[in-house]
Structure 1
Amino acid sequence: MSRIRLVPPALDDPQDHAALRGEVRGFLRDCLDSAVFTPGIDTWLTGWDPAFSTLLAARGWIGMTIPTTYGGHGRSHLERFAVTEELLAAGAPVAAHWIADRQIAPSLLKFGTEQQKQRFLPAITRGECFFGIGMSEPDSGSDLASVRTKAVRVEGGWAITGTKVWTSGAHHADAFIALARTAPKDPAVRHAGLSQFIVELRSPGVEIRPIISMTGSHHFNEVVLEEVFVPDDMVLGTIGDGWLQVTSELAYERSGPERFLSTFALLAETLDQVAAERLRSNGDIGRLTARIAGLHHMSSSVAGALHRGERADSAAAAVKLLGTATEGDIADYVDVLADRDAHACDAGHFAELIDQAILQRPGFTLRGGTNEILEGVVARELGLR
C-alpha cells in the first residue's frame, strides 16, 4: 500500500528568502522604535490600521503574488509567506488589507473577469481597497451547503436577500464576496445551485450590524442584504459554480501563518520575561516553540504547493486544525505560568497581551472552519472516512 502524503513536500530552501526577511525585520524594528504600532494578539483580525497598510504597500508587501499586469509585484507565494510570517510574528496591525490580499486577490485572478481584475487588483495592491468574506450565515455553523441567502435574476443583474454573519471588518470594508443560492436546493446534490457575487457594502439595501466581542471591541458584523442589486458584471466566476469556487479558496484561507501565529507576540514576550528572570519557565515553553517550528514548515510547504498550482485544501485544513490548537495552548500556558496573583506582572504590556490572548482564544478553532469540520476533511483525505 502506498503511503499517503497529506502535506506537500518542501521543495524550496527557506534560506532563499533570508534577505527579504531581514528587510522586513529592519522595517518592523524602525516601526517599533518610532511607536508606529504596539505588538498585539490576533492582529490579522483585530489590527485594522489602513495607514500601516499604506506603509506596507509602498514597500511592495501587499499584492506580492498579483501579476504586474494588474499592478502587483509578480512574486512567489513563498516570498509572500516570508513577509506575512514576519509581520504576524511581530504582532503588526495588518487586518485592513489581510482578506483582500490573502483570499480575494487569488479568487479574482482565478475566476474574475478582465474588468474585475483591472478594477480591484491594482487598488488592493495599493492598500486602498478592502474586502470581507460573505460565507457564514446564522444557524449554519460551518455547513456552507446550507446557505439560505438567495440571488434572484432581475433585469441587468441579481437581487440578493439574506444574512451573513461573523463578517470581519464589514463596517470598514468596501465590498465582500457573497455566496448565494441561485437555484433551488436539491437534497440529492447539496452543493449545487450556489454562486458568488461581489457586493459593494455601501449599496442600497445593505445593513451592517455590529457584533461586539467580549473584549468590548468591534471586529465582527452581521450583514443583512435586502434585495441588494448586483449587476451582471459583479458576478464572480460562473453561475452555479459557487461551491467549486469557494472550496478552491479555502487553501488560501486556512493554511497561512495567521493560523498559528495569532499569539506568537505573547510567546515571544514570555521568553523575554523568562530571560529577565521575571518568570520561571518549564519544558512546556520549548514544546510550544517546537510546535510553532513544525507548523512553519507545514504552512510554508502549502505555500510552495500553491505557487506550483497544486491542490492543497486538505493540507491547509491540517495546518489550520493544528495551528489554532497551538495558538490557544500558548494563551492557556502563559496565563497559568504568569500566575498574576503571585507575580508582579499584573500591569503593563505583558499583562495586556495575556488578557487579549485569553479573550480572543474562543474564536481560534471556530473561524475558517470548526475543528469538527476540519477533522472530517483530513480524515477523508487519509481514507479514514
Structure 2
Amino acid sequence: MDLSYSPAEEAFRQKIRKFLEENAPKKALGEMALAESKAWQRKLHEAGLLGAAWPKEHGGAGLTDMEQAILSEELTRAAAPPVPGQMGIWWVGPAILKFGTEQQKKRFVAHILSGEDIWATGYSEPNAGSDMFNTQTRAEPRDGHYVVNGQKIWTTQAHLANWFFCLVRTPVPDAKTKYDGLSVLLMDMSAPGVEVKPIRQMTGGSEFNEVFMTNVEVPMENRLGEEGEGWKIISQALINERSGIASGMRFEQSLGHLVSLARRRGKTEDPGWRQRIADLAISTQITKYSGFRSTSDAIQGRLNPHLSAAMKLYGTTLSQRFATSMSELLGPYGQLYQQHDQAPEARKVGQRLLYERSLTIAGGTSEIQKNIIAERILGLPRR
C-alpha cells in the first residue's frame, strides 16, 4: 500500500483546495434552500468535480481513483455542503454505468451530475429492515411493463427525489435462494400510484420517508441489469460510498473540534479526559489508514465488500463516540439541544448526538455488519 502522493496528485489537490476556498458555500445542506444547493451542484458539475472518475463520454472528468479520493478528502476538509443529488452520484450513477444499457446511460447519467434528476434508493421495508433478502415489494410483468406493489421505509430524500432506485422481487418459477428474483427498477417518482410520506425524526428534521407503491407501472426498459441480478447490483452500489480517505479526514476534523471544546471547558489537564481524547485519536488514525487501504485496493481493482463492512461498523461507532464525548464535555448544557450563552455549541452538539444514533442502523445495521465480518472475513460458522 503506497501512502505517498505524486507531484501531479499534490498539484491536483492544491487546484481543488483553491477552487473550494473561492466557491464553497459557508452553509450546511440543511441551511440551504433547494435552489441554492442545486446551484452549488451545478457549479461543481461545471468545474468537472462531480462524477470525477466517470468516463468523459458520460459527463465525467475521467480522473483516476486516487484523484477522486483526493477530491473527496478536500471536499470534507473544506466542510463543503453535500449536494442534493448525492444519492445519484455515489450509488445510482456508478450502478447504471456498470450494469445499465447504453440507452439508460444516455438518459440518466448526465442528468444525475447536473442535478436535473434527484434520486432516492429504496431498499429497506417495514418487515425486512436490513435484511434485503426478505424484500416483499413485487414487480409483476404485464404488457411491456412491471406492475409494482409494496412499501419502502427509511428512504432518504424521497420527498425531494424525482427518480427511485428500487429493489423489487420479480417472479422466478424455480427460486432456490432468497436472492433469486431480486431485481432493480428505475422508477419515475411522478408515476401514478407512488406516494411519499415524510417521517418526523427526533432531530426535528424529516430526511427519511415512507414510499408506498400501488399498481405503479414501470417500463421494462427501466429494469437495471437482468432479472435476478438485483443482489449483485445492490452489493456493488453499497460499496460505492465515499472514499475511506475522506472518512479519515472527517474524523480528524471531529478530533480537532473535540480538543478545542475540551480546552474551552477546562478539561485538557483532566487525566480521564486526556486518556479519552488519546483513545479517540488512535481510533481516528485506524480509520484513516483503513481508508488508505480501501482506496489502494480500489486503484488496483481489488474491491472488497467485506472490508467495507468492517469500516462501516468501526466508523459509525466512532462517530457516536465523538458525539457522546462532545455532549459529555458540555455537562448539563449537552442536554439542551438549543443555543445557550454558557455553551454556544449546545445546539449543534445536541443535534449531532441525536442524528448519529441512526448511523449504526442506516445502510445496514451493526448486527448485519458483524455477521458479514464473522462469516466472510473470519470464516466462522453460522451456528
Structure 1-normalised TM-score? 0.86
Unaligned ranges ≥5, structure 2: 269-273
What corresponds to 2:340 in structure 1? Answer: 346
CA distance in 2, matches of 1:362, 1:91: 21
**2:95 equivalent to 1:107:** yes
Higher relative contact order (CA 8 A, sep 6+): 1
Kindly state the Cα deviation for residue 339 of structure 1 after the two structures are TM-superposed.
1.9
Tell me: CA distance 1:256–1:171, structure 2 relative to 1, closer, same or farther (3 Å).
Answer: farther
Tell me: CA distance 1:251–1:19, structure 2 relative to 1, closer, same or farther (3 Å).
Answer: same
CA distance in 1, matches of 2:225, 2:296: 25
What corresponds to 2:304 in structure 1? Answer: 312
Tell me: CA distance 1:302–1:65, structure 2 relative to 1, closer, same or farther (3 Å).
Answer: same
The number of aligned residues is: 366
Tell me: CA distance 1:53–1:237, structure 2 relative to 1, closer, same or farther (3 Å).
Answer: same
CA distance in 1, matches of 2:174, 2:4: 47
CA distance in 1, matches of 2:276, 2:291: 22
Tell me: CA distance 1:378–1:367, structure 2 relative to 1, closer, same or farther (3 Å).
Answer: same
What corresponds to 2:379 in structure 1? Answer: 383
CA distance in 1, matches of 2:344, 2:69: 28
Tell me: CA distance 1:293–1:339, structure 2 relative to 1, closer, same or farther (3 Å).
Answer: same
Kindly state the Cα deviation for residue 278 of structure 1 after the two structures are TM-superposed.
4.7
Kindly state the Cα deviation for residue 260 of structure 1 after the two structures are TM-superposed.
6.5
CA displacement, residues 9-61 of structure 1 (integer Å, 9 cap, x when unaligned): x34634663333334434444457xxx333589x9xx9x92222222222222
CA contact (8 A) 2:245 2:295 kept: no
CA distance in 1, matches of 2:41, 2:282: 31
CA contact (8 A) 2:21 2:78 kept: no
Unaligned ranges ≥5, structure 1: 1-9
State the identity as a percent.
Answer: 31
Structure 2 counterpart SS, 1:283: helix
CA displacement, residues 327-375 of structure 1 (integer Å, 9 cap, x when unaligned): 0000001111122549xx8357632320121110211101111111111
**2:290 equivalent to 1:298:** yes
CA distance in 1, matches of 2:364, 2:248: 15
The amino acid that maps onto 1:358 is: L
Deviant stretches of 4+, over 4 Å: 184-188, 254-266
CA distance in 2, matches of 1:206, 1:159: 12
CA contact (8 A) 2:29 2:83 kept: no
Kindly state the Cα deviation for residue 279 of structure 1 after the two structures are TM-superposed.
4.1
CA distance in 1, matches of 2:191, 2:245: 33
Tell me: CA distance 1:373–1:165, structure 2 relative to 1, closer, same or farther (3 Å).
Answer: same
Match of 2:132 among 144, 162, 166: 144
Kindly state the Cα deviation for residue 129 of structure 1 after the two structures are TM-superposed.
2.4
CA distance in 2, matches of 1:364, 1:135: 16
What corresponds to 2:267 in structure 1? Answer: 280
CA contact (8 A) 2:52 2:68 kept: yes
Kindly state the Cα deviation for residue 88 of structure 1 after the two structures are TM-superposed.
3.0
CA contact (8 A) 1:260 1:324 kept: no
Q: What is the root-mean-square deviation of aligned Cα atoms in Å? A: 2.8
The amino acid that maps onto 1:311 is: L
What corresponds to 2:271 in structure 1? Answer: none
The amino acid that maps onto 2:123 is: M
What corresponds to 2:12 in structure 1? Answer: 20
Tell me: CA distance 1:290–1:23, structure 2 relative to 1, closer, same or farther (3 Å).
Answer: farther
Structure 2-normalised TM-score? 0.86
Tell me: CA distance 1:331–1:118, structure 2 relative to 1, closer, same or farther (3 Å).
Answer: same
CA contact (8 A) 1:167 1:223 kept: yes
Tell me: CA distance 1:268–1:144, structure 2 relative to 1, closer, same or farther (3 Å).
Answer: same
Match of 2:366 among 371, 378, 385: 371
Tell me: CA distance 1:263–1:293, structure 2 relative to 1, closer, same or farther (3 Å).
Answer: closer
CA contact (8 A) 1:255 1:320 kept: no
What corresponds to 1:192 in structure 2? Answer: 180
Structure 2 counterpart SS, 1:216: coil
CA distance in 2, matches of 1:349, 1:132: 35
CA contact (8 A) 1:137 1:163 kept: yes
Kindly state the Cα deviation for residue 186 of structure 1 after the two structures are TM-superposed.
7.2
Tell me: CA distance 1:383–1:257, structure 2 relative to 1, closer, same or farther (3 Å).
Answer: same
Structure 2 counterpart SS, 1:163: strand
CA contact (8 A) 2:183 2:228 kept: yes
